[in-house]
Amino acid sequence: MFIWIMATSFFFMLSSTIISYLSPGPTEQQVMMFMQGMMGAMHNSLMGLSMSIEEDFDLKHLIANASAITIPLIFISIILGLYIRYLRGRRNSG
């Protein structure tokens, strides 16, 4: 079984290498279609999202404000949670 899998993988590796070396290069139209596809994919990716955030001042300001209050809110929630556990512990023990 192992020999069959290895032989098959080497066959496909060798055939793809031969095809890539012997095939003609892409035409200008194929290259342009590929580049348009890559640009479309980039606009729908995280890179495109970050580019749109850099251009949008209001959204950039909102993200900065949200980031500024995230850490204090986490600390406040931890302190509040510990205080509630302390009160419940006192109530249950006494």
> For the segment 27-85, what is each residue's pLDDT rounded down to a tens digit?
889 889 999 988 888 877 877 777 777 788 888 888 889 999 999 999 999 999 999 99
Residue 23 maps to a domain: no
Q: Is the dihedral of CA 6, 7, 9, 10 positive or negative?
A: positive
Number of structural domains the chain divides into: 1
Is there a contact between 60 and 53 (Cβ–Cβ < 8 Å)? Answer: yes
Asked, for residue 68, whether it belongs to a domain, the answer is: yes
Residue-wise pLDDT for 11-34, tens only, equals 889 888 888 888 777 788 988 999
For 90, the domain range is: 57-94
Within-domain flag for 87 = yes
Q: What would the mean pLDDT of 3-10 be, rounded to a whole number?
A: 86
Note whether residue 74 is domain-resident: yes
**Where residue 94 falls among pLDDT bands split at 50, 70, 90?**
low
Is residue 86 in a domain? yes
| CB distance 64 to 56 below 8 Å | no
Whether residue 60 contacts residue 67, with contact meaning beta carbons closer than 8 Å, is answered with: no
Residue 82 lies in a domain: yes
42 part of a folded domain: no
Q: Residue 39's pLDDT is what?
A: 85
* pLDDT for res 75: 97
Q: Which residue has the higher pLDDT, 91 or 65?
A: 65
Which one-letter DSSP state was computed for residue 56?
A: -
Structure tokens at 49: 């999202």
Is 3 part of any domain? no
